[in-house]
Amino acid sequence: MLTEKDFEVKTLGESTVISPLELSTIRGDGIVNFVEETNKILYQVKLTDESQDSNLYFESAGPRKKIFFKPDEVKAAVMTCGGLCPGLNNAIRSIVMQLYYKYNVKNIYGIQFGQKGLDPSSGYDLIELSPKTVVKIHESGGSFLGTSRGKVDPEIIVDSLIKYGINILLCLGGDGTQRGLHSIYEVIQKRKLKISVVGLPKTIDNDINFVHKTFGLDSAVTVAKEAVRSAHCEAESAYNGIGLVKVMGRHSGFIAALTTLANNDVNFCLIPEVKFELHGKGAFLEILEKRLENRHHAVIVVSEGSGQELLKDEKGVKTYDASGNIRLGDIGIFLKNKIIEYFKERKIPVDLKYIDPSYMIRSVPTNANDSIFAAELGRLSVDAAMAGKTDMLIGYWHGCFTHVPLPLATSARKQVNPEGELWREVLSTTGQPVSLKAHK
């Protein structure tokens, strides 16, 4: 059960420095206000008979009147880790602009290629960042700083932070990255150093807990929607046409679910959180056959992590990527082959088109919503770090920006709730059965 302690944000000490931001503490004077430490965001707004968390709150994100660091003593560094995601450059740019123009911090550095950039054996140097170096980076996808998977010993990372004199580390990454950032914090704490570490939730999978939305998700859905539109055109233009689209989502099916809702032409949405079976009465292939009998075309969207239990006999020995994630079997190709095989045995002609837009989805520049959102997260991460907040990330909850302790954010992976509103809307949109498992 969650307690108030789980929501407590750590600080480096008392904030005594007056912020250089020319904001107000007076309500009603027509001037933008500082955020008070007493400002809170309710964790739970929808209460049920079983609710136990009505008195739990997130700390509100935003600039404080008193900050911990003197701006001329700050050396800040930015790092991007994990896979690519729309919005990385937008966030990097806003971080630099906020530090330089709003807090008068002139010593800003970029860490190249993720954690490896803080490993002396990798041979990467820090990049000096200024408004001039980042002025146009938001117009491109990818990461201006480069990124990589894999971990570096946090002791080595902290040694490098000390060597470079870094006292603010801002890290853009997903669930694994934020776990790594917490490990860095633990070494900093053990050594009793005054270094702030603040995370920004970057993952198109949208699987960081206690964060309603992560940047990159909206752009990913925008691109995936176009892939599904093409699949629908192909399917509808052929007799018994099938459009099969695989999208990213290792453990969480948010991209698949939201793409389905955005498109309205999807007939089957398959996600990791909801198991399905291929064969038997009421199973996926039988329902697909009925769909073709009635309408002679179908569109399927599948998350990359779906149906992994069906591939057990085909995957062989487990292998892992540099981040320690189990390499998934290719559910897209597997499903394509199984569908073709099923209808061939029944002598039913089908015309299947398979589309995998995965790397297009994650490498594009942001759409308008993500551009705004990523930049906001960047600025707020600077506000938090300058105020001495640490071991936390900037979250988004009930339409408000929050401070989320890293242990809370990484306590579990956020997933689509099979009993919740989002999945209910998906089922209503597709018309697929509540269950695609075989039954008697």
Mind telling me the catalytic residues? 205
Distance separating alpha carbons of residues 303 and 330, to the nearest angstrom: 10
Q: What are phi and psi of 200, to 5 degrees?
A: -120, 130
Classify burial at 77, counting beta carbons within 10 Å of its beta carbon; exposed 0-12, middle 13-18, buried 19 or more. Answer: buried
Handedness of CA 158, 161, 166, 171 (dihedral sign): negative
Distance separating alpha carbons of residues 342 and 332, to the nearest angstrom: 15
Residue (of 374, 319, 361, 323) closest to 147 by Cα position = 323
| Number of neighbouring beta carbons within 10 Å of residue 332 | 22
Residues 6 or more apart whose Cβ sits within 8 Å of residue 113 = 122, 124, 145, 146, 147, 148
Residue burial 143-181, b: 16+ Cβ < 10 Å; e: rest:
bbbbbbbbbbebeebbbbbeeeebbbbbbbbbbbbbbbb
Q: What are phi and psi of 139, to 5 degrees?
A: -80, -10
Provide the CB-side half-sphere exposure for 258 (13 A, CA). 22
Q: What are phi and psi of 177, to 5 degrees?
A: -65, -40
Task: Report the amino acid identity of residue 422.
Answer: L
Contact at 8 Å (CB) between 198 and 68?
A: no
Residue (of 410, 375, 413) closest to 180 by Cα position = 410
Provide the CB-side half-sphere exposure for 135 (13 A, CA). 4
Distance separating alpha carbons of residues 158 and 154, to the nearest angstrom: 6
Could you give the strand order of the β-sheet that contains 268-270, starting from the edge strand earlier in sequence?
A: 268-270, 297-303, 241-247, 351-355
Contact at 8 Å (CB) between 412 and 209?
A: yes
Distance separating alpha carbons of residues 109 and 93, to the nearest angstrom: 12
Classify burial at 56, counting beta carbons within 10 Å of its beta carbon; exposed 0-12, middle 13-18, buried 19 or more. Answer: middle
